[in-house]
Amino acid sequence: GHKTYDLGGGTSGTGTLFHDADDAWGDGTPANRQTAAVDAAYGAAVTWDFYKSAFNRNGIAGDGKAAYSRVHYGNAYVNAFWNDSCFCMTYGDGSGNSHPLTSLDVAGHEMSHGLTAATAGLKYSRESGGLNEATSDIFGTSVEFFAGNSADVGDYLIGEKIDINGDGTPLRYMDKPSKDGGSADYWSRTVGRLDVHYSSGVANHFFYLLSEGSGAKTINGVSYNSPTYDGSTVTGIGRAKAYQIWYKALTTYFTSSTDYAGARTGTLQAASDLYGAGSAEYSAVAAAWNAVNVK
């Protein structure tokens, strides 16, 4: 099963396994060291359940092996990361804000790097790196919607609960990625030169458009207004079909060097496999890629 360890500010080793005599875990505040552990364990469990429910996938690598989590990494460490060598998740406590980096979408994001490593193996640079990051945002967001937790409703914002910016804004926006000040809304010849967390914007925007469509709308109380490169109107096919297409492409057609053009080809083939070459879903994939200038 999943296990969660306390690094106690350290940066190496496994740390100390969390245990509790009264089985009352944390209190929802960062001051209680168990709170981050509860969040990490919850994130690992919900991500596992999402993979099983959505894709009949048995764990991150598909082999039934559980990952473990390490919390309280380093001193005021403002990050979280997946490590394939230990098959484990690691979370920092953050700095300048009161929230450890253990929110559900971040947990789903980081563990999905393990999924990518076990399947397409997208190289973590240039356009393939952007696709790697977007894959984690896509599934992290999907995990959050899947959980149906009223305390952290599903949205197309990444890391909105950890408040790294200190002003309540998320790390990333899938409906209009450029709202973060650095991410690309649309493909261009230079997009591969961006940091992978910014070049991912093109695929995040594609996924949002494929799921929900363009224009202004409110979902779970969150307002979105997704533009298109060519001024076109895109009609979404729903998040569940969109993530099935992405998963099929990732696990069947993407390779370590897949770029945006290859992602278009792979997702169209996946849509054809799942829904038919003449289907509305296939047409929607093409329209969503056109709308982010991947043609």
| Beta strands per DSSP E along the chain | 4-6, 16-17, 68-73, 80-83, 88-92, 157-158, 172-173, 215-219, 222-226
Active-site positions read 110, 197
Tokens 């409110």: give the residue: 218
Residue 235, classed as helix, strand or coil, is: strand
Token pair of 116 as six digits: 């990518």
**250-230-238 Cα angle (round to 5):** 45
Token pair of 153 as six digits: 């409703």
Token pair of 156 as six digits: 């197309």
Token pair of 117 as six digits: 């490593």
Largest CA-CA distance found in the chain, in angstroms, rounded: 60
Q: Which residues, other chains included, contact 223 with Cβ-Cβ below 8 Å and sequence gap of 6+?
A: 216, 217
